[in-house]
């Protein structure tokens, strides 16, 4: 027998991983195809609106994956991940704002509209470099990563765990929301950033760009999945699960628990930042409401609904819950929050392993 031509890396060769990555690939290929290649008259045509929506869901899925990685495998329940998501989004937004150039309302070659409006004379120092795409990409990872590092270093070193940790992550995102609401912070105050024109020279309104963004989000989600799996499959990943199940016991084996928590927290925050960066060009706006504490709580609900501690379940949960949200806010807007609450309670009571628990595929290491 010949060895199979295509050998997947062992960490993503299990059935669940293959199914998950294959569905991602299908979405990334088929959605653009149905949008770009199928004529609008055909019933198979996928609207540009739907493409944007799917792209948005996928960026939420990446955020959910980031939360599940630390919650499901290391027991860190972050209720502040929307903050990292928003920071990544703001970093991308700053790049998109500077790409507008003279096409803004005031036509200023350097300053974004809101700065002209505030009678600012020159660009604040922290806006330097954001005209470069590579710089923005670095900041997409660095801003949330650095914040997570400082926050995690302080919190995990003082052994803040459980509900206390969750509460201070809420405080973190709330504090950032208040800060970003202020006009003099230099991030556009409560209006945030919008009216983006193009990314790397590609028109954000064009169907091709939207399809490309959707595909990029799918690729990022797949890559993040692979990265998390690689960590979890290593001995370090087993230490993480040991920490989740018996934190103090792990210390007596000689592991510096705070370091483990810190590194996965930082990685998770970076993934959340990347999700935010992919989200912003697809929805066309970023403002301080992204920091709202309720947003972070919603992410945890997506993960719980999909199935904590599976990664793919969290991603699927994000898509399903947000699809439901889209439907409800269209048909029965007043009911949505109750429906979300009911979903959470229902899953907690009847499906402790989430929807993923209903499927026969089970990753061994959950």
Partner 1 sequence: MNANLQPGGAVAAEPRAGAPRRGAAPGGRDPWREKREAAAARQPSVLTGDVLYLQQVTVSFDGFKALDDLTLHVDPGELLCVIGPNGAGKTTMMDVVTGKTRPDAGRVFFGNMTNLLTMSEPEIAQAGIGRKFQKPTVFDFLTVFENLELALAGEKSFWRTFFARLTPRDRERIDEVLETTGLAAKRDTPAGTLAHGQKQWLEIGMLLMQEPKVLLVDEPVAGMTPQETERTGELLLSLAGRHSVVVVEHDMEFVRSIARRVAVLHEGRVLAEGGMDAVQSDPRVIEVYLGA
b (16+ CB within 10 A) / e for 252-273: eeebebbebbbbbbbbbbbbbb
Smaller CB distance to partner 1: residue 321 or 366?
366
Asked if 352 touches partner 1 (CB under 8 A), the answer is no
Q: How far is the CB of 236 from partner 1 (least distance, A)?
A: 4
Smaller CB distance to partner 1: residue 60 or 156?
156
Asked if 203 touches partner 1 (CB under 8 A), the answer is no
Asked if 103 touches partner 1 (CB under 8 A), the answer is no
Count of other CB atoms within 10 angstroms of residue 203: 12
From residue 358, how far is each of 91, 211, 261, 348, 362 by CA, in Å? 39, 32, 30, 14, 10
Asked if 239 touches partner 1 (CB under 8 A), the answer is yes
Task: Report which DSSP code applies to 193.
Answer: E
Smaller CB distance to partner 1: residue 281 or 354?
354
3 state DSSP class of 64: helix
Matching residue, tokens 């989000």: 217
Query: Distance between CA 328 and CA 292 in Å, rounded?
Result: 21
Asked if 361 touches partner 1 (CB under 8 A), the answer is no
Smaller CB distance to partner 1: residue 74 or 221?
74
Q: Pick the binder of partner 1 from 200, 252, 330, 331 (CB under 8 A).
A: 252
Q: How far is the CB of 8 from partner 1 (least distance, A)?
A: 19
Q: Pick the binder of partner 1 from 4, 43, 254, 330 (CB under 8 A).
A: 254
Strands 193-194 and 285-286 turn out to be antiparallel
Asked if 365 touches partner 1 (CB under 8 A), the answer is yes
Helix H or strand E encompassing 203: strand 202-203
Contact range with partner 1 by CB under 8 A, out of 37-45, 249-257, 269-277, 325-333: 249-257
Distance of CA 23 to the CA centre of its chain: 19
Task: Identify residues 218-237 at the interface with partner 1 (CB under 8 A).
Answer: 231, 234-236
Query: Distance between CA 30 and CA 44 in Å, rounded?
Result: 11
Q: How far is the CB of 233 from partner 1 (least distance, A)?
A: 10
Judge whether 91 and 143 are in contact, CB under 8 Å.
yes
Query: Distance between CA 17 and CA 97 in Å, rounded?
Result: 37
Task: Identify residues 262-281 at the interface with partner 1 (CB under 8 A).
Answer: 263
- The alpha-carbon radius of gyration of the chain (Å, integer) is 21
Q: How far is the CB of 93 from partner 1 (least distance, A)?
A: 32
Smaller CB distance to partner 1: residue 103 or 249?
249
Smaller CB distance to partner 1: residue 241 or 325?
241
Q: Which residues bind partner 1 (CB under 8 A)?
A: 231, 234-236, 238-239, 241-242, 245-246, 248-257, 259-260, 263, 365-366
């Amino acid at each position: 027998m010949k060895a199979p031509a295509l050998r997947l890396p062992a960490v993503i060769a299990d059935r669940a991983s293959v199914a998950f990555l294959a569905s991602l690939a299908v979405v990334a290929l088929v959605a653009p195809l149905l949008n770009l290649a199928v004529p609008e008259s055909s019933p198979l045509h996928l609207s540009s609106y739907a493409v944007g929506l799917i792209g948005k869901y996928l960026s939420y899925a990446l955020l959910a994956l980031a939360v599940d990685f630390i919650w499901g495998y290391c027991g860190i329940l972050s209720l502040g991940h929307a903050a990292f998501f928003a920071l990544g989004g703001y970093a991308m937004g700053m790049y998109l704002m500077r790409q507008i150039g003279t096409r803004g309302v005031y036509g200023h070659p350097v300053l974004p509209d809101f700065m002209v409006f505030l009678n600012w004379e020159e660009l604040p120092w922290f806006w330097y470099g954001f005209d470069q795409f590579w710089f923005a990409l670095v900041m997409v990872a660095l801003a949330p990563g650095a914040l997570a590092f400082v926050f995690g270093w302080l919190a995990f070193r003082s052994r803040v765990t459980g509900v206390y940790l969750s509460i201070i992550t809420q405080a973190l995102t709330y504090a950032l929301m208040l800060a970003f609401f202020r006009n003099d912070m230099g991030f556009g105050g409560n209006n945030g950033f919008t009216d983006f024109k193009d990314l790397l020279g590609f028109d954000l309104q064009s169907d091709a760009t939207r399809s490309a963004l959707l595909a990029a989000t799918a690729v990022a989600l797949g890559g993040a999945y692979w990265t998390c799996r690689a960590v979890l499959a290593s001995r370090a990943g087993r230490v993480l699960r040991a920490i989740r199940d018996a934190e103090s016991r792990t210390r007596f084996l000689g592991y510096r628990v705070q370091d483990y928590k810190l590194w996965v927290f930082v990685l998770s925050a970076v993934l959340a930042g990347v999700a935010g960066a992919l989200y912003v060009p697809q929805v066309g706006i970023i403002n301080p409401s992204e920091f709202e504490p309720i947003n972070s709580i919603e992410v945890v609900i997506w993960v719980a609904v999909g199935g904590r501690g599976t990664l793919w379940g969290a991603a699927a949960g994000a898509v399903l819950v947000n699809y439901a949200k889209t439907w409800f806010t269209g048909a029965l807007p007043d009911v949505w929050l109750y429906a979300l609450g009911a979903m959470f309670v229902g899953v907690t009571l009847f499906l402790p392993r989430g929807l993923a628990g209903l499927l026969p595929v089970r990753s061994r290491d959950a």
